[in-house]
Structure 1
Amino acid sequence: MSCALDQLARANRTPPLAAAVDLFQFLAIVPDPRDPRGLRYPLAALLSAASAAVLTGARSLAAIGEWITDAPRWALRALGFPPDPLTGSVPVPHPGTVRRLLARLDGDTFDRAVGSFLATRSPAGERRVIAVDGKAVRGSRTRDRPAVTLLAAMDQHGNVLVQRQIADKSNEIPAFAPLLDTIDLNGAVITADALHTQHDHARYLRGRGAHYISVVKPNHPTLHDRIRCLPWTEISLDHIERTRAHHRHEIRRLKTAAFRHIAYPGARQALQVVRWRRDLTAGKLTIERVYLVTSLKPGEASGAQIASWIRGHWGIENKIHHVRDRTFREDDSKVRTDGLPRIMASLRNLAIGLHRQMGHRNIAAALRHTARDYRRPLTALGITG
């Protein structure tokens, strides 16, 4: 019996995170937007407290302020709030102070700090696969301004490495290269939807030493027709996968065809993915064919790997965007002031990434678990003081 209990304990133990890594080290790069005269609360303390609050499920600025107000003195001191030299009590900021700070924060630098923190704690030694996708924060729409759109890059472990806000009256295309400029792409594989199947993007990625897997749709008619008209029926199957979940049965088949030359920068192979999907409730069968190009040479990755990377691209939707919408109710949020929608999204990305690193698959359950003990969010952030 004792042997079985030992095995159960090992199975339920969360995977170890990188030692001696705490959020404070990365927040040092974030500039303080406040006037240095009369500052009462350190920037790192305020940002760490906001991060800890979101780790416990705080969905709004009001909830963040309440978490900080209710935190015990030892937790506040560990977060970096200085005690009163006369009474020994630890004063806490008014919720309005936290709101004004987050509204004025440099979003690019804060996202870089969060992404670097998550990346440092991720497993090393494997090829990085990075999915790029955008999301509109619908609740940020005002009468005079469209909803804030955020373009993010996520690795295969569910960590948002970097995020960038799309300029008003623009789209995701001009933000693609600036988004990836701040992270190491050497040897990585970048996946993106058809919007980013652009010649300039392909040249940029190859110039940075990265590979790409890009979806080709009829918005590139010449390239699409050339790939679609290949003799796919005569090409052997590279990979097949069958799954049954969510009341449907799916079969995904992958074929690859090598090219000596194709009218797309750096492209070495064309791919065809055929998805057979049967709804087990209604009995309806749908068949979808998707064509892609990749700069990976034949034999550089197996069919199973390429298929998993293509399917994994939608992880940025399921692991990040869907969780922010359903668990954190992001689209219902009415936060619209200055850069607050983006900063709140960054805090949610941090919380989701950390919970996945600690082995949690159900983020809602992870938030409830973390909220039951003030030590848990601090431990997740690497704060042990």
Structure 2
Amino acid sequence: MKLRPKITLIDHFEKLSDPRVDRTKDHKLIDILVIALCAMICGADNFVAMETYGNSQSQWLKQFLDLKNGIPSHDTFARVFARIDPDEFEACFRDWVSSITELMPGDVVNLDGKTLKHSTHNGLGKKAIHLVNAWASEQRLVLAQQKVHERTNEITAIPHLIKVLELNACLVTVDAMGTQTDIAELLHSKGADYCLTLKGNQRGLFQEVKEVFDNAQKTEWTGIEHSFHRTVEKGHGRIETRRYWTFSAELLSQNTDKWAGLQSIGIVEAVRRIGDKTTTATRYYINSFASDAKRLALAVRSHWGIENNLHWVLDVAFNEDDCPVHKDNAPENLARLRQISLNLLSMEKTAKIGVANKRLKAAWDDDYLAKI
């Protein structure tokens, strides 16, 4: 009797449409996907490495895959990933993620974009693709991903993610690009709270918030009801002090009614000291929750964390920025395969090591890979 490791996501991806004609199907699509996923988890970052992994681990893979025609070639991996419908692949991904996690009231979801730098091809006139990710900061899981079409920007991708995710009672953070009245309305209609970065693209509101804050600082907030929170972090020769303020949006004279659910304004002042050098940065936010500086701190720190816990990991542990794949749908589909791998590695808690070392351990230990 063949043993089947506990790779429960197989069931969610078996319904993915096979883009190949029947006469070219020497290998089952699900087998190609599973080999590619196992290879990715174990450190393979390109199609040649996937073939090499498959040939090296063929006996282990045969425990639960058919493989009557052996291991697919790197050309087969490349052709299949270039032709898989990325929207369908994403739907399978979301279906799987929804089966393994449940967002709880108050959970923070970060929406942020990332460019795959080496997915460009100047000879073909193809620009690097840009993806917007939805990241559950508490669970450290990617919830969904949406490609930004070449002639648009993140403003078109963010609403798609909001519509397909169950965000009721969650707190959603978005960078200044997504600070738009339509996006605030959509989040509010989904029952989610928001924390939106406020910059000069909302010039009138930005200027008034800045003036109110500057005046409040000068008068030491005399007569202005507000919430305050302070944190200090030390490490690696650095001391960083962050001060958080929130106050009611009713203090503004601007027409704030167009921002659905808007309740409070947030300000973060970060003072970083390294040796004799001190730098100060101030950021502004509009929020749909009542004035609460600690909640602002949670939202802001969670959004900064997406760079370290997702984008940085994808670049350093998975070499995403150095991947030169550019043909057709392959860059987007490989990015999604990395996110499946990252989610699986993040959910494995027995090994108290980083993602890069978990990949090495999985490559060296078949039992550990099966556990993942």
Equivalent residue, structure 2, for 1:99:
78
SS at match of 2:247: strand
Q: Which of 289, 298, 322 in structure 2 is aligned with 1:332? A: 322
- Normalised by the size of structure 2, how large is the TM-score? 0.87
- The question of whether the paired residues in 1 share the 8 Å contact of 2:105 and 2:170 is answered with no
**Cα distance in 1 between the residues matched to 2:280 and 2:12:** 47
- The question of whether the paired residues in 2 share the 8 Å contact of 1:275 and 1:288 is answered with yes
Equivalent residue, structure 1, for 2:267:
272
Equivalent residue, structure 2, for 1:59:
45
Equivalent residue, structure 2, for 1:169:
151
Are the structure 2 counterparts of residues 248 and 107 from structure 1 closer, same or farther at C-alpha, using a change threshold of 3 Å? same
SS at match of 2:201: coil
Equivalent residue, structure 1, for 2:20:
34
**Cα distance in 2 between the residues matched to 1:179 and 1:366:** 29
Instruction: Give the drift of 1:109.
Output: 2.3
| Residue 49 (1) aligns with residue 52 (2) | no
Instruction: Give the drift of 1:200.
Output: 0.9
Equivalent residue, structure 2, for 1:254:
244
SS at match of 2:242: strand
- The question of whether the paired residues in 1 share the 8 Å contact of 2:105 and 2:169 is answered with no
Are the structure 2 counterparts of residues 247 and 319 from structure 1 closer, same or farther at C-alpha, using a change threshold of 3 Å? same
Are the structure 2 counterparts of residues 72 and 38 from structure 1 closer, same or farther at C-alpha, using a change threshold of 3 Å? closer
Bigger RCO of structures 1 and 2 (CA < 8 A, at least 6 apart): 1
Equivalent residue, structure 2, for 1:369:
361
CA RMSD of aligned residues (A): 2.2
Equivalent residue, structure 2, for 1:137:
116
| Residue 187 (1) aligns with residue 169 (2) | yes
SS at match of 1:184: coil
| Residue 149 (1) aligns with residue 135 (2) | no
- The question of whether the paired residues in 2 share the 8 Å contact of 1:112 and 1:161 is answered with no
- The question of whether the paired residues in 1 share the 8 Å contact of 2:240 and 2:271 is answered with yes
Once the two structures are superposed, residues 281-333 of structure 1 have per-residue CA deviations (whole angstroms, 9 ceiling, x without a partner) of: xx2111111110111134xxx53333122111022211121122222222222
- Normalised by the size of structure 1, how large is the TM-score? 0.84
* Letter matched to residue 363 of structure 1: V
Equivalent residue, structure 2, for 1:347:
337
**Cα distance in 2 between the residues matched to 1:141 and 1:237:** 46
* Letter matched to residue 100 of structure 1: R
- The question of whether the paired residues in 2 share the 8 Å contact of 1:132 and 1:154 is answered with yes
**Cα distance in 2 between the residues matched to 1:115 and 1:311:** 25
- The question of whether the paired residues in 2 share the 8 Å contact of 1:81 and 1:92 is answered with no
Equivalent residue, structure 2, for 1:317:
307
Instruction: Give the drift of 1:126.
Output: 4.9
Instruction: Give the drift of 1:347.
Output: 1.4
Are the structure 2 counterparts of residues 352 and 247 from structure 1 closer, same or farther at C-alpha, using a change threshold of 3 Å? farther
Equivalent residue, structure 1, for 2:277:
284
- The question of whether the paired residues in 2 share the 8 Å contact of 1:164 and 1:175 is answered with yes
Count residues with an aligned counterpart: 350
SS at match of 1:200: helix
Once the two structures are superposed, residues 118-162 of structure 1 have per-residue CA deviations (whole angstroms, 9 ceiling, x without a partner) of: 443336645331111111111111111211111111111221111
Show the 5 A alignment for 1:112-131. 112-122=91-101, 125-131=104-110
Unaligned runs of 5+ in 1: 1-19, 84-89, 381-385
